[in-house]
Amino acid sequence: MTVSGKGARLCLLAIAVVLAAGILVAAVPDTPVKITQPGNAEVTTAPAIRISLADSPAPAENANPEPAPEPEQAPKPEKEQPPEPEPEPEPEPEPEPEPEPEPEPEPEPETRSQPEEPTATPEVQTQDSTAETDANEQPEPANENADAGAQSSVPLQKAGNPSAVDDYLARLSRHLSRFYEYPRRARRLRQEGTPVITFEFRRDGSLVGHSLREESGHTLLDKAALAMLKQATPLPPVPDDMAGRTFSYALPVRFNLR
């Protein structure tokens, strides 16, 4: 065994002795122990002497004390921000008044599709209320019919020169066609016909009288022909190269859907 090994063992032994002595000293009471023997007076023993062979190790309190915890800093109070202004409530829009429902139009009794409005015009024919004239017959001169025209109405076809009469008839036809109207109800009912109306008028175009000479077979068409003549008055004035004070004329009015 080496010297260093022996030294170590001695050191350990010394430490063990010191610890054992310390334990014994701690176990001895400080007050004397009274031993009572029968027949003898009380014997007071002196307190034991503490023998300290080595300094007791310093208490653990002498160790480096732990640093005291730093006091927590109180958080700085945050600056109070002014509250945001509440938005003003928008005014509710006033409800618009509900429009009153319009009354529904009454349905027409018939729902047939309406055909295209006819473009026919009053048919101008050489008919008069007194007598039919021959196509080859030449009208009498205006000066010879002046006296007869002063007494009674002159058939329009015999009122003067044929060219002048034709020109006036064309003007009369265009004038009447502006007031021609096919009755809507008659179109729905598919009614057709050609009523003939006779009328007498003065040189200035004012109407003297009128009547229905031939019926069409449909009351709607007959009334439409008479209404057209009333709306068309006054008629175009008669030119100076046609003789007569009043004139008579028979006018067929054709109502045809084709």
Per-residue pLDDT of the chain (258 residues; tens, 9 = 90+): 565 777 788 888 889 888 888 888 776 665 554 545 554 444 444 455 454 445 555 544 444 556 566 656 665 656 666 666 676 666 666 666 565 555 555 555 444 434 344 444 455 443 333 333 333 333 344 344 444 444 478 898 888 888 999 999 999 999 999 999 999 999 999 999 999 999 999 999 999 999 999 999 999 999 999 999 999 999 999 999 898 999 999 999 999 998
Name residue, tokens 């009153």.
100
Q: Concatenated DSSP letters for 79-132?
A: PPPPPPPPPPPPPPPPPPPPPPPPPPPPPPS--PPPPPPP--------B-SS--
CB 185 within 8 A of CB 175: no
3-state secondary structure of 32: coil
| pLDDT reported for residue 121 | 47
Do 199 and 210 contact (CB within 8 A), yes or no? Answer: yes
Please list, in sequence order, all residues whose beta carbon lies within 8 angstroms of the beta carbon of residue 92, skipping any fewer than 6 positions away.
Answer: none
Show the CA angle centred on residue 150, arms to residues 212 and 174, nearest 5°: 45
The dihedral built from the CA positions of residue 110, 112, 118 and 124, taken in this order, carries a sign that is negative
Fold (CATH) for 146-252: 3.30.1150
171 near 121, Cβ under 8 Å? no
Output the pTM of the full model.
0.44
| 144 CB burial (10 A radius; 0-12, 13-18, 19+) | exposed
SS3 content of the chain, % helix, strand, coil (to 5): 30, 10, 60
pLDDT of residue 197: 96
Task: Give the residue among 31, 29, 189 at the shortest CA–CA distance from 111.
Answer: 189
Going from N- to C-terminal start, the domains of the chain cover 146-252
Please tell me the predicted confidence (pLDDT) of residue 9: 83
Q: Give dist(CA 14, CA 68) in Å, integer.
A: 39
